[in-house]
């Protein structure tokens, strides 16, 4: 058993990691300020602290619980907000992460598993699927702030011996995803269609992303604490899925016949991206297993059963 601290543990991805850690009998500490997470996602077996990662009180959590492993998912994760409020984005994502690393250094945390982004780091890719050697050229402040933390992690590893694994997430989807969060298109489309409402596609429907189901992401995080591998790894299928593909797949499982509305594209969003995860396959022995149709079917079923919990 190890002591595991999860920042952003009341969020979509963090709460699934929480359940995984508890199932393996690890002591699990959750830090979340509910800016995007929800109390309903907390497991009663976890120890919970309602804190912003920039809060000085986080030091007391480290002092009391001495985490061996930190999963760092707390972030300002909205691309559009990062464009509107770049100072806030940098303060949460960069300054907050540095404060966290300093606590890890001070209290002897062995390893950080960091949720980075593959969708926003590379910008408009010059080739696809984009691998870790692809030039980093973000189109938004969020991509810059998330990438900056990777450099700090490398520095803290070299200078202080803090082990880390940075996982560049694709578009993650599945049960519990908040329709108000970044990259929540499956949740948004599911809830709107199930309520008989029309969905909006920004652009002409040809914009692409690489979609990976939450269970596959959790598996990568589990591997992260079972190995001492250090570095940056893409996660993804390596295949493009269009916005219209998402709409059409959700529509089938939600049994909706309502056509979408098309609206202008939004500033800071890339048009096409998919991620080459061959390095993760080779080194981490990770690969996605849940096909898009199966994953969306599971997500739509979840939202059908939990519609009253989500406002949209």
Q: Mind spelling out the 3-state secondary structure of the chain?
A: CCEEEEECCCCHHHHHHHHHHHHCCCEEEEEECCCCCCHHHCCCCCEEEECCCCCCCHHHHHHHHCCCEEEECCCCCCHHHHHHCHHHHHHHHHHHHHHHHHHHHHHCCCEEEEEEECCCCCCCCCCCCECCCCCCCCCCHHHHHHHHHHHHHHHHHHHHCCEEEEEEECEEECCCCCCCCCCCHHHHHHHHHHCCCCCEEECCCCCEECEEEHHHHHHHHHHHHHCCCCEEEECCCCCCEEHHHHHHHHHHHHCCCCCCEEECCCCCCCCCCCECCHHHHHHHCCCCCCCHHHHHHHHHHHHHHCHHHCCC
Residue 17 has φ and ψ, to the nearest 5°, of -65, -40
> What residues in the chain have per-residue pLDDT under 70?
181-183
Give the whole-angstrom CA distance, residue 34 versus residue 32.
6
pLDDT at 182: 59
pLDDT at 181: 64
My answer on whether omega of the bond before 44 falls inside 30° of 0, hence cis, is no
Show the domains of the chain with their CATH numbers.
3-172+212-234 (3.40.50.720), 174-209+239-273+291-309 (3.90.25.10)
List Cβ<8 Å contacts ≥24 apart for 178-182.
Answer: 178/11, 178/12, 178/36, 178/38, 178/310, 179/310, 179/312, 180/36, 180/312, 181/11, 181/12, 181/36, 181/77, 181/78, 182/77, 182/78, 182/79, 182/142
Neighbour tally for 23: CB within 10 Å: 11
- Among 58, 68, 145, 76, which Cα is nearest to 113's? 68
List, for residues 215-261, the tens digit of each pLDDT value: 999 999 999 999 999 999 999 999 999 999 999 999 999 999 999 99
- Among 63, 74, 80, 65, which Cα is nearest to 27's? 65
Environment class of 189 (CB within 10 Å of its CB; exposed 0-12, middle 13-18, buried 19+): buried
Q: Quick one: residue 66, left, alpha or beta (phi over 0 = left, psi -120 to 50 = alpha)?
A: left
Say whether 142 is catalytic: yes
- Residue of 114, 142, 164, 303 with catalytic role: 142
């Amino acid at each position: 058993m190890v002591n595991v601290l999860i920042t952003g543990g009341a969020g979509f991805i963090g709460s699934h990691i929480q359940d995984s850690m508890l199932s393996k009998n690890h002591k699990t500490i959750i830090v979340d300020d509910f800016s995007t997470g929800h109390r309903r996602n907390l497991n009663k077996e976890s120890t919970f602290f309602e804190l912003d990662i920039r809060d000085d009180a986080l030091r007391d959590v480290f002092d009391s619980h001495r985490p061996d492993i930190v999963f760092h998912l707390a972030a300002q994760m909205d691309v559009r907000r990062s464009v509107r409020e770049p100072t806030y984005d940098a303060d949460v994502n960069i300054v907050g992460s540095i404060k966290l690393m300093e606590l890890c250094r001070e209290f002897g945390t062995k390893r950080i598993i960091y949720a980075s982004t593959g969708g926003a780091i590379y910008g408009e890719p010059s080739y696809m699927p984009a691998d870790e050697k692809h030039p980093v050229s973000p189109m938004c402040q969020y991509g810059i702030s998330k990438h900056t933390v990777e450099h700090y992690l490398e520095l803290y590893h070299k200078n202080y011996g803090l082990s880390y694994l940075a996982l560049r997430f694709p578009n993650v989807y599945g049960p519990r995803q908040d329709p108000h969060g970044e990259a929540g298109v499956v949740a948004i489309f599911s809830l709107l269609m199930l309520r008989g409402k029309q969905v909006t596609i920004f652009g002409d429907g040809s914009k692409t992303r690489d979609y990976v189901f939450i269970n596959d992401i959790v598996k990568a995080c589990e591997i992260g604490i079972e190995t001492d591998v250090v570095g940056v790894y893409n996660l993804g299928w390596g295949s493009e899925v269009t916005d219209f593909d998402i709409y059409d797949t959700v529509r089938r499982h939600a049994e909706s016949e309502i056509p979408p509305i098309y609206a202008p594209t939004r500033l800071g969003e890339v048009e096409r991206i998919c991620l080459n995860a061959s390095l993760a396959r080779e080194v981490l022995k990770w690969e996605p297993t849940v096909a898009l149709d199966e994953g969306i079917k599971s997500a739509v079923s979840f939202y059908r059963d939990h519609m009253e919990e989500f406002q949209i």
